[in-house]
Structure 1
């Protein structure tokens, strides 16, 4: 397996009324949840780990974590810009990519591991966690999809590519709807 983990943590939290990634849930900043779940995974599951962020607090916390920190000071350009920055860092790497967002605090390590294993066993070029067949995050892209990822613009992420290639997608049904729940508004945490 030659998989690179790319954590996306650069969003502007427009609908949240503040920086949602630093918002504390049960005494812990939201972005820490996925990092702690990833820390429970086998060390050889990911070839490399990157985090793309604009937030100094996250950079400071992650500086000695084993993640390559990619700074995104143009988050207004949308999620595609974070994707492009990560892929440019990996320009000469022959790798597949798992993209995950840091506003899904209920995602579990065993789900991430099952997604990676299912992707390789399926021999498909794409994979994502889903709920009742509806694609969500995290999502995996074989290296052969690098060009299409680099063609994304604005606030359009990889879901566009997944929808364009339905026969090449491995879908892993989430065990719980909570795992796919991303916190976009302050009220989402309490729904």
Structure 2
């Protein structure tokens, strides 16, 4: 089965006091960390790669990356709108969906690879990273969950679907809680 990587990079960073995705951590914009982690993965792990963003700086950086860039010009509609835009792009594809956010700079490529491998071996319809029972990102949805993803509204992502179908979820326990940490507020 094909798996498409979908990077979500369109959030408004309302609690951050600025564009958190462009915020530099150790001299590099935050969003680049996950892209670099993905670049370390084996070729062929993902059949396609998409990034959904509202930011011209990210679009410019990604233009020659091999990712399909999808512009989200209505980010105020929440994360569900980014999900819908990606799924509309993949309307004719028979694929599973690997969703990742771009504000988790400590996520490791080995964890991403282990999540994909565990999902495939488990034969479950869903997967996500967790730490001590706390569900996090990234998350994988088999194609059978496309309709439920399209029913999401507002700033509610796929965790709602995962929580409602726990018997169909492969959970990968992160080795370090930092991997799940998304940066929502300006560091002090």
TM category, shorter: over 0.9
Contact 1:133–1:171 (Cα < 8 Å) also in 2:
no
- Secondary structure in 2 aligned to 1:117? helix
CA distance in structure 1 between the partners assigned to 2:136 and 2:23 by the alignment: 22
Residue 57 (structure 1) aligned with residue 57 (structure 2): yes
The TM-score normalised by the length of structure 1 is 0.98
Find the counterpart in structure 2 of residue 167 from structure 1: 167
- Secondary structure in 2 aligned to 1:186? coil
Gaps of 5+ in 2: none
Find the counterpart in structure 2 of residue 38 from structure 1: 38
- Residues 89-104 of structure 1: pairs in structure 2 closer than 5 A: 89-104=89-104
The superposition leaves residues 105-162 of structure 1 with CA deviations (integer Å, 9 ceiling, x where unpaired) of: 0000000000000000000000000011221000000000000000000000000000
Find the counterpart in structure 1 of residue 141 from structure 2: 141
Aligned length: 188
1:43, distance to aligned residue in structure 2 (A):
1.1
Find the counterpart in structure 2 of residue 75 from structure 1: 75
CA distance in structure 2 between the partners assigned to 1:167 and 1:146 by the alignment: 18
CA distance in structure 2 between the partners assigned to 1:168 and 1:11 by the alignment: 28
CA distance in structure 2 between the partners assigned to 1:75 and 1:43 by the alignment: 31
Find the counterpart in structure 1 of residue 48 from structure 2: 48
**Considering only aligned residues, what root-mean-square deviation do their CA atoms show, in Å?**
0.6
Find the counterpart in structure 2 of residue 177 from structure 1: 177
Gaps of 5+ in 1: none
The TM-score normalised by the length of structure 2 is 0.99
CA distance in structure 2 between the partners assigned to 1:115 and 1:82 by the alignment: 22
Contact 1:149–1:158 (Cα < 8 Å) also in 2:
yes
Find the counterpart in structure 2 of residue 88 from structure 1: 88
